[in-house]
């Protein structure tokens, strides 16, 4: 049993002078919520019994401050969004980590991940790590085409430390999660951005006998630049979100300026006549590989529709 009464705001004479503050839940562990207030003060909180909604890492909450850096969560403030893997609220930025080489970026994976990011209403930023290695063709396409699509693309190297400060600037004021395939340097980046994270997490996982990537507790780490980074990479599942075939094109922002000129308003840019998107591909205004990836995803969605009906 937890010593519950310690977190109650009684006795009554305290109530009138109780201090309420808003803060951000950085982690939730064994029934305790660690809430960060302004000036980085961390308050260990219990949750008020009557609260019905779940509180996740990343939630903004209102707390009543008690003595000794403790508090009670009174309510959850409105939530902007929620990711399921990792389970985190209010994330605003996905850092898609790729390697310039070893391994070369897989543009199909990039396009699928971008679709998922846009579908969740998040902002993508591509981190091209291992800048110290020789260039590759897909890395060049990312620096040219994807940048031109309005995506921030940043070249970094955890080995030479190039770009790390610029990356911290990008995370400023955001709740960021990492994503990307294995071997590109996500763990190395976490270690670089959050010094000492390995020791901290290893001691915890040793105690509970599991690796940190199998633990389901996600923690947000405040960075010196004033943003937060989740300690677990997200978006490991690469299933396409459930959507109708007409929806897919809305998540390809680089198609949108062209598709107003398609002959058919509901053009899927698939087999239709007078398709301005296909035209733009022909004229090399849209990256052909990205268009082909769109078609593969479109066919996958059509196949799923067939299985449902
Ligand atoms: N050349 C080079 N290798 C790197 C860089 N960052 C990470 N690596 C190496 O890439 C491999 C995978 O790194 P890791 O952080 O485990 O990647 P993760 O699977 O995405 O977590 C390791 O051998 C790292 O030493 C870098 O900037 N340059
Ligand atoms: Mg890793
Ligand atoms: Zn079209």
Nearest atom in ligand 1 to the alpha carbon of residue 180 is 20
CATH label of the domain that carries residue 50: 2.40.50.140
Would you list the DSSP string of 115-155?
Answer: HHHHHTT-EEEEEEE-TTSPP-HHHHHIIIIIHHTT-EEEE
Is residue 65 domain-resident?
A: yes
Digit-coded pLDDT (tens) for 58-107: 999 999 999 999 999 999 999 999 888 788 999 999 999 999 999 999 99
Whole-number Å distance, alpha carbon 217 to ligand 1 midpoint, is: 24
Number of structural domains the chain divides into = 3
Q: What is the structure's pLDDT at 305?
A: 87
Ligand 1 contact, 157 CB (< 6 A): yes
Domain co-membership, 141 together with 65: no
pLDDT of residue 206: 52
Ligand nearest to the CA of 279: 3
Residue 253 and residue 195 in one domain: no
Instruction: Please tell me the distance between residue 100's alpha carbon and the centre of ligand 1 in angstroms.
Output: 11
Check pocket membership of 132 for ligand 1, CB cut-off 6 A: yes
Dihedral sign for Cα atoms in the order 244, 250, 124, 258: positive
Mean pLDDT lowest among 47-61, 95-109, 198-212: 198-212
Same domain, 220 and 96: yes
Q: Are residues 181 and 155 in the same domain?
A: yes
96 & 219 share domain: yes
Please state, in angstroms and as integers, the Cα–Cα distance from residue 273 to each residue in 28, 66, 277, following that order: 55, 68, 11
Confidence of residue 10 (pLDDT cuts 50, 70, 90): low
Residues 112 and 172 in one domain: yes
- 237 belongs to a structural domain: no
Considering the domain architecture, whether residues 226 and 89 belong to the same structural domain is answered as: yes
**From ligand 3's centre to the CA of 233, what distance in Å?**
35
Q: Is the CB of 184 under 6 A from ligand 1?
A: yes
Is 170 a domain residue?
yes
Q: Averaged over 11-38, what is the pLDDT?
A: 85
Q: Tell me the ligand closest to 270's alpha carbon.
A: 3
Last residue of a domain, one of 230, 264, 288: 230
d(CA 233, CA 121): 18
Q: 200 and 128, same structural domain?
A: yes
Q: Which domain holds residue 133?
A: 82-230
């Amino acid at each position: 049993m937890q010593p519950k009464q310690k977190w109650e705001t009684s006795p009554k004479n305290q109530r009138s002078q109780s201090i309420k503050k808003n803060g951000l839940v950085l982690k939730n562990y064994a029934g305790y919520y660690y809430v960060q207030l302004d000036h980085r003060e961390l308050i260990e909180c219990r949750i008020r019994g009557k609260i019905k909604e779940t509180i996740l890492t990343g939630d903004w909450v209102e707390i009543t401050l008690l003595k000794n850096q403790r508090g009670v969560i009174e309510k959850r403030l409105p939530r902007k969004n929620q990711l399921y893997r990792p389970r985190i609220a209010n994330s605003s930025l996905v850092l898609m980590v790729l390697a310039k080489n070893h391994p070369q970026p897989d543009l199909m994976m990039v396009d699928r991940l971008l679709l998922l990011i846009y579908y969740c209403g998040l902002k993508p930023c591509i981190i091209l790590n291992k800048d110290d290695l020789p260039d590759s063709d897909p890395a060049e396409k990312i620096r040219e085409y994807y940048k031109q699509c309005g995506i921030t693309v940043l070249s970094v190297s955890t080995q030479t430390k190039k770009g790390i400060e610029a990356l911290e600037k990008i995370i400023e004021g955001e709740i960021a999660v990492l994503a990307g395939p294995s071997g590109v340097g996500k763990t190395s980046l976490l270690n670089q951005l959050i010094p000492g994270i390995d020791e901290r997490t290893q001691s915890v996982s040793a105690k509970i006998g599991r690796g940190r990537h199998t633990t389901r507790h996600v923690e947000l780490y405040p960075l010196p630049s004033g943003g937060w980074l989740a300690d677990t990479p997200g978006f490991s599942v690469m299933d396409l979100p459930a959507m109708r075939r007409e929806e897919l094109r809305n998540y390809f922002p680089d198609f949108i300026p062209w598709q107003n000129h398609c002959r058919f308003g509901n053009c899927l840019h698939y087999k239709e006549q007078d398709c301005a998107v296909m035209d733009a591909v022909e004229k090399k205004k849209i990256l052909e590989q990205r268009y082909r990836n769109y078609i593969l995803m479109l066919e996958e969605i059509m196949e799923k529709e067939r299985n449902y009906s």
